[in-house]
Amino acid sequence: MNYGENLVCPACGTSLSSIKNTLKTGCPECYASFDSYIRDILRDFGVNSTYTGQLPKKLPRFRNVLTDRILIQNKLQESLKNEDYEKAAFYRDYLKAIEKSPVQGNDEAR
């Protein structure tokens, strides 16, 4: 069975070959990137149900916060590099707000 071993996760760079050999993913995005391949691997082990991870309902929200944080950190670094301290302060404050926001989704569970 060909598992597309040259494919890599766009988020963390883990290769599908590595997942196949170690049976470990590099990040939550690996599940989305390699969904059909992971299902085939699980089927080979006799697991027929779909694995949704520990936080299936919260993953999209977590992914958005993580993506936003990386984007804002990059903008902060660029602002500092260009000595645009007003923008840098804005991005710094925005990052602090992201860090304080609840990613756990406790409000969704109730």
For 94-108, write each residue's pLDDT tens digit.
Answer: 888 877 766 544 444
Over range 63-91, report the average pLDDT: 87
Residue ranges covered by each domain of the chain:
1-53, 59-102
- Residues forming beta bridges with residue 15, ordered by sequence position: 8
Alpha helices in the chain (DSSP H): 16-22, 28-33, 35-44, 59-81, 85-100, 106-109
**CA 78 to chain centroid:** 23
The pLDDT of residue 44 is above 50: yes
> Predicted confidence band at 2 (pLDDT cuts at 50, 70, 90)?
low
What percent of the chain is modeled with pLDDT above 70?
A: 69
Q: Label residue 76 by pLDDT band (50, 70, 90).
A: very high
What is the rounded distance in angstroms from the CA atom of residue 15 to the CA atom of residue 70?
A: 22
Compute the mean pLDDT over every residue in the chain, rounded to the nearest whole number: 77
Alpha-carbon torsion angle 61, 66, 69, 71, nearest 10: -110
The C-alpha angle with vertex 10 and arms to 94 and 64, in degrees rounded to 5, equals 30
Task: Look at 52-56, 67-71, 89-93 and tell me which has the smallest mean pLDDT.
Answer: 52-56
The phi-psi region of residue 15 (left if phi > 0; otherwise alpha if psi is between -120 and 50; otherwise beta) is beta
